[in-house]
Structure 1
Amino acid sequence: MAGDGGLFAFRGDIPARLKVLVGVGVAAALIVLWEIVARAGLVAPQFLPSPSAVITAMWSMITTQGLLWHALVSSVRVWAAFLIAAAMAIPIGILMSSYRIVGAGLEPLIDFVRYLPVPALVPLSIIWFGVGEETKIFLLWLGTFFQLVLLVADDMRRVPHEYVEIAFTLGAKPRQVLSDVALRAMGPSLVDNLRITLGWCWTYLVIAEIVAADSGLGFVIWSARRYVKTPEVMAGVVVIGLIGLITDQLLRALHRRMFRYL
């Protein structure tokens, strides 16, 4: 049972409106501090431009450089890779957890690959797929699939064995146990893990889009870096963060709507 610490109660809860106000307040305070530090000249502008300079650069990039188009291109690539990864990881993860022989065969291989650094595999991906869209989507998939499949397998393992035993006792077939018991029980954590791994997929965007790319936010950031246009670099980074924040909040809202009983 939580203590009587009010807003600072251990594992306590606060009103939803207060959560929003605190989040916005902390973000605003950090932006103001950043502006003060930048304007005071404590850090050279080429290393840390002010928020106002970043916003100015962002607006210029939107109106003259097609920044929104690049954001759309990157979003399509991320979602394509993520959906392919999810479509593969969910059934494989369930099989790994449901049948020990499958887990014994696949888990060592997946553990090996998921520790490989994605940047180190860029040359191989170019050899295998060339420099087209396939390489970019493959690199994004690579950074997502092997993490997600193990999370799905863990979600399946956490389904109480009593649920399965009761279902079999009542005459359910294995397919019914999977669809009507296991998937429903693991649903909340599965959706949450999908939300988390979508964020991971975005973290590999710049790596994927420096491979002979002429579009996308990673291309924009890398091109601006080449000419030391730090405000434009940071503008591209901020756009990625904003897209991630909005997407994450939408998926959180979907999770609450789907699983209101939690």
Structure 2
Amino acid sequence: MKADPAVQRALLTVAELDKELTQLAHRRRNLPENAKLAEAEAAVRTAKDKLVEVETLAGDLDRDIRRIERDVDGVRKRTERDKALLAGPGVSARQAADLQHELETLQRRQSVLEDEQLEVMERREAVGRDVEHSKAALAAAEQAVADLIKARDAALADIDAAEAGRRRDREQTAATIPAELMAVYEKRRSQSGIGAAPLVARRCQACRLELDRTALASLKAAAADEVVHCAECGTILVRTAESGL
């Protein structure tokens, strides 16, 4: 196959643009923001679970407080009733003794309930602080996710813009190269990832191997417009002033 040396050099421009596009695609797949975002989203889930846990505990304690309040209220009403009966007329000595015994029992019961109430309220206060702390932690975790999404989207926008520019340049350059030569280039690129490379200091820049004397002699003898390939990897090899031939 024949191609003007200038056309062959244009093929190197296409190869360089393809390399940059590959690098951009790799960057897209491996954005550090994606890994950080996955960690941040996991932190949000953990924070939500913690908030549910402490809110559930707070709800349980609130129910306990209401139950104890009802019990205390019941004891107080019973105490008031017994005191009214004890102070009323027509109470026998036995009834008075029974009422007095019940009043003492109610007093002990009220004391126990009030102690329990105080303990539960102190626990509820501590859990309330945990709830507020968990809400703040969740808000911070959600903000971190939002910040990372913003950073990721900005990075993707940069990549999109760079890819669009490289593709535009590639299309313009590829349009100057004969379709037959581009077909050979594309076939080789699909096989090894590199369709064309320069020969620099007797070394193929695709496989990075230095060519032997026989291969170099063959390249030196080939006409300048002859499309040649690396004897080691088969890539289209473009000869330049730096080839060392």
What's the TM-score, normalizing by structure 2?
0.25
User: Higher Cα Rg: structure 1 or 2?
Assistant: 2
Higher relative contact order (CA 8 A, sep 6+): 2
Higher strand share: 2
What's the TM-score, normalizing by structure 1?
0.24
